[in-house]
Structure 1
């Protein structure tokens, strides 16, 4: 493995806010119901201080780089006050500079009881929202365990635009319990009609360790799922949206943060259960933070991380698992730059996939064909 140059790899930051009002039955994320349904100011301040201490231990990984993008995920990050974020960013920027055009995304819940006015988040430096609508249909929202209503969701998008947010992603799921084709398409129509500039549209999957896994809901049959996918994609394209990643559709520029993930960039990670990836001259490392909020708060920052070096054997799959999600793929040169490995070593696999029309016939690009995206999991298995 050749020596790597961390300075050439963009550096992002992921911040995990682990609390939500109520755990949804489909959710397998590291989220925990907040005591009494409301985050106390004392707990908020304690957690924000822990985040800063955690960040301070990761400064060595910056290798002279400024922060390129920030994503605040959860849980429900909009449970944290706008004033809390203003304080947090002031502390983080004092430790490590943020690029002037740094994209800062906040995941927000449409439930009006869960967030400050959106203008406060904009004033705190957050310049992109990802609103977790999931569905605009009242019956589906109940089945998904969401606490917001259709009017809450429509109002949240409207209020975000009114507050001055230019970049608004709407998270939507399809293939919901007993969902019809018309209901799935109506969700898309409402998001587009409200002025979403980016839509994350993905099929509900039943994950282990969820309520839905233990009590399986009735999901649409395959024929309906296929019709939803086909007609939903046609609708989004007809309304000017570009599908640039498996489940990401945009009318504006792509999400800089997610693009950095998919291009095998680096990201620091702070917060309970947060996952990070950093490049050092001797290799690429992944790390994970203590999962439970109470344990995260109880430990000194140095005890948070669990580091693992990605081996040369694992690296092809790790890289391709991200890069091939992009419809345009990545420049082939990126493989050696980000992994320290020679792409020629994968020649037999790449040749086989190209002959089977699963990868594009372009030696300068690593990208799936349309057929390759349909069978993406099978393509990725070739690199294991």
Structure 2
């Protein structure tokens, strides 16, 4: 292998719970409508067996964050989440300041469980509001209304959550700048510690892909983004990633680990993981069986596939995450987390700086405002075929010593 890894990377755990009440027309996640009773106890058993299968990959390492995603994880009972976290804790040691996040639906039935989730060990919520405007909520297929969205934030605080995120979308069908700002103003008034504000995109194999709504044109989208960024900044929510806004002390630790190219285990139906193996000097991704029925029937073999991240692919994989961050990463992270020499990318990096897409500071790998706006174009420069075309294909491993 080309890589030379020397130190363990930070480690997180992602837990996928695939069921939801109703699948939204824009959603391309591995989620399934719960048309019958959810096999909660059986699924918790499977998650713990899945984690046990993965343990040899991460012996001796501690977990810095856990994220429950879906689907709608808050459909599960607090008792089930407590049993799962107790099991995870028995397998892997937790960092003392571990962040444990659960995605939650503002629906009344789920919000009433918030105190139970807090007692079980969840210390951060991510509440999927998307919009506070009734017409938009209906278009997006959401099962909650404006009142439920507001109450969910209030109940989170009452349940003892001093750290919670609100998810909002912009670029919604027929949305104006004023509409988008009203959503943000409503969210800000609820005093979340973190806001995720991202643009609606039409993904393949969704209902919106087959029957697309009329979305705002590029000029309106640009105006929405500029006005929204200014409002969030002025309200104490500086942008630190493409679609994430929070004061430095409240940034999402789990997501930061992704963007900083750390390692993570993924358990649950269709979950993905990325692991750096020091013993065999390789980094690889693995994914679990996708359909809940197949996952539950897996017994003790949950893995659907495993792929080594090659030295040719590593530059793109790293930059795809790091350059999402407004401030990027220290240049030294590249070698530490890919095992490769950064000077092998000197030509493409210099071209990015010359074109005004990357910041001129050689001690950091960071996009400019223009680079962040045209991030996909920036990232294409780090793909293996582009590096070969421009003379940066040779990947030099770090030599320890």
> With structure 2 as the length reference, what TM-score do the two structures score?
0.93
1:331/1:365 contact within 8 Å kept: yes
Deviation at 1:61, TM superposition (A): 1.8
Deviation at 1:19, TM superposition (A): 0.2
Task: Tell me, yes or no, if structure 1 residue 180 matches structure 2 residue 179.
Answer: no
Gaps of 5+ in 1: none
SS in 2 for 1:302: coil
Deviation at 1:303, TM superposition (A): 4.2
Cα distance in 2 between the residues matched to 1:3 and 1:230: 42
Task: Tell me, yes or no, if structure 1 residue 316 matches structure 2 residue 312.
Answer: no
Deviation at 1:338, TM superposition (A): 0.8
Matched residue, 1:122: 118
Cα distance in 1 between the residues matched to 2:269 and 2:112: 23
Structure 2 residue corresponding to 1:269, chosen from 237, 252, 266: 266
Task: Tell me, yes or no, if structure 1 residue 221 matches structure 2 residue 209.
Answer: no
Cα distance in 1 between the residues matched to 2:122 and 2:168: 21
Cα distance in 2 between the residues matched to 1:245 and 1:373: 9
Q: What are the Cα deviations for residues 95-144 of structure 1, in whole angstroms up to 9, with x where unaligned?
A: 11111111000000001123542111111000000000000000000000
Cα distance in 2 between the residues matched to 1:78 and 1:108: 5
Cα distance in 2 between the residues matched to 1:6 and 1:17: 32
> With structure 1 as the length reference, what TM-score do the two structures score?
0.97
Kindly report the root-mean-square deviation, in angstroms, between the aligned alpha carbons of the 2 structures: 1.1
Deviation at 1:3, TM superposition (A): 2.6
Matched residue, 2:386: none
Q: 1:222 to 1:122 in 2, by over 3 A?
A: same
Q: How does 1:1-384 map to 2 (within 5 A)?
A: 1-7=2-8, 9-36=9-36, 39-40=37-38, 43-251=39-247, 252-281=249-278, 282-384=281-383
Deviation at 1:227, TM superposition (A): 1.5
Deviation at 1:84, TM superposition (A): 0.6
Runs (4 or more) in structure 1 with deviation over 3 Å come to none
The count of aligned residue pairs is: 379
Deviation at 1:27, TM superposition (A): 0.4
1:26/1:212 contact within 8 Å kept: yes
2:4/2:340 contact within 8 Å kept: no
Deviation at 1:374, TM superposition (A): 1.5
Q: 1:223 to 1:357 in 2, by over 3 A?
A: closer
SS in 2 for 1:5: coil
Cα distance in 2 between the residues matched to 1:52 and 1:17: 13
Deviation at 1:6, TM superposition (A): 4.9
Deviation at 1:218, TM superposition (A): 1.1
Deviation at 1:197, TM superposition (A): 1.0
Q: What are the Cα deviations for residues 199-251 of structure 1, in whole angstroms up to 9, with x where unaligned?
A: 00001000000000000111112222122111111111111111000100003
